[in-house]
Amino acid sequence: RKEVEQDPGPFNVPEGATVAFNCTYSNSASQSFFWYRQDCRKEPKLLMSVYSSGNEDGRFTAQLNRASQYISLLIRDSKLSDSATYLCVIGNTGKLIFGQGTTLQVKP
């Protein structure tokens, strides 16, 4: 079983749509949680850290459920520029463990 599992997609949505991505992780001792974004296999860029209390940054909302070992990312009012691969990432003792990524394509 992979340490971090994501639906690879692709998710094809129209501009303005709301889209949700989910991710599960296997190690209950995982310490920190993130969503990164990767465009065309360039460097990953930190989108947001994820906390149990949930956190929001503009159109993006992230949630962590430690009991279910589940992380989510919600994007509201999708823009064309949101088209990218979204990486669910776990931090353990310093190193990051990446999911395979979920591809989002926002269409006009």
Among 11-19, 31-39, 54-62, 70-78, the segment contacting another protein (CB under 8 A): 31-39
* Residue 102 β-bridge partners: 86
Q: Closest CB to another protein among 78 and 101?
A: 101
Phi, psi of 81 (to 5 degrees): -70, -5
| Partners of 91 in beta bridges | 32, 96
Segment lying near another protein (by CB under 8 A), choices 9-17, 19-27, 37-45, 58-66: 37-45
Taking CB under 8 A as the criterion, the residue among 14, 42, 81, 108 binding another protein is 42
Query: Is residue 9 part of the contact set for another protein (CB under 8 A)?
Result: no
d(CA 43, CA 95): 16
Q: Interface with another protein includes 22 (CB under 8 A)? A: no
